[in-house]
């Protein structure tokens, strides 16, 4: 988590390059993280060829949206963006909007929090050019 920034309405963009991993080759960006078990995440997985959006509550992921058949090449730089505005979340991959999702999961929901980067399992992933933009 990037500790200097706390925000509700925010856009996080990072360049990521999945390099290797047997069970996962993923990269992600998170928003509204209140702690390590509560946040929203957009993640791209080169092995699965998808970009998904989740809400994580008490360490349990709940998938809210998915784009399948996305070409995510290992060893290549990609751009992943998660934009949060009130209860609406937009995920972009390589500057292309993939899905807009309204969070209708049960309350309480994180109203604001930290932003950050994410990897899973045995993913070896490089990150570059983290950009954070806050909205009023």
pTM comes to: 0.95
Q: How many residues does the chain have?
A: 136
CA-to-CA separations, 115 to 42, 66, 100, 121, 132, in angstroms, rounded: 12, 21, 19, 20, 8
Domain holding 6: CATH number? 2.60.120.560
Furthest CA-CA distance within the chain: 41
Q: How many domains does the chain have?
A: 1
What is the residue range of 57's domain?
Answer: 2-134
Find the Cα–Cα–Cα–Cα dihedral 22, 27, 33, 36, rounded to 10°.
20
**pLDDT at position 44, please?**
98
Cα–Cα distance measured from residue 68 to residue 104, given in angstroms and rounded to the nearest whole number: 22
DSSP secondary structure, 113-136, as one string: EEEEEE--TT-EEEEEEEEEEE--
- Contact call for residues 12 and 30 (beta carbons, < 8 A): yes
pLDDT per residue as tens, the chain (136 positions): 998 999 999 999 999 999 999 999 999 999 999 999 999 999 999 999 999 999 999 999 999 999 999 999 999 999 999 999 999 999 999 999 999 999 999 888 888 999 999 999 999 999 999 999 999 8
**pLDDT at position 93, please?**
98
Cα–Cα distance measured from residue 74 to residue 55, given in angstroms and rounded to the nearest whole number: 25
**pLDDT at position 84, please?**
98
């Amino acid at each position: 988590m990037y500790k200097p920034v706390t925000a509700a309405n925010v856009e996080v963009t990072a360049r990521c390059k999945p390099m290797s991993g047997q069970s996962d080759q993923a990269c992600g960006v998170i928003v509204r993280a209140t702690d390590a078990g509560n946040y929203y995440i957009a993640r791209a997985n080169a092995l699965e060829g998808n970009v998904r959006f989740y809400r994580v509550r008490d360490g349990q992921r709940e998938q809210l949206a998915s784009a399948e058949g996305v070409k995510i090449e290992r060893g290549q730089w990609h751009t992943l963006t998660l934009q949060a505005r009130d209860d609406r979340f937009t995920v972009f991959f390589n500057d292309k909007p993939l899905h807009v999702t309204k969070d209708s999961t049960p309350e309480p929901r994180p109203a604001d929090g930290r932003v950050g980067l994410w990897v899973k399992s045995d993913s070896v992933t490089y990150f570059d050019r983290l950009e954070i933009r806050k909205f009023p």
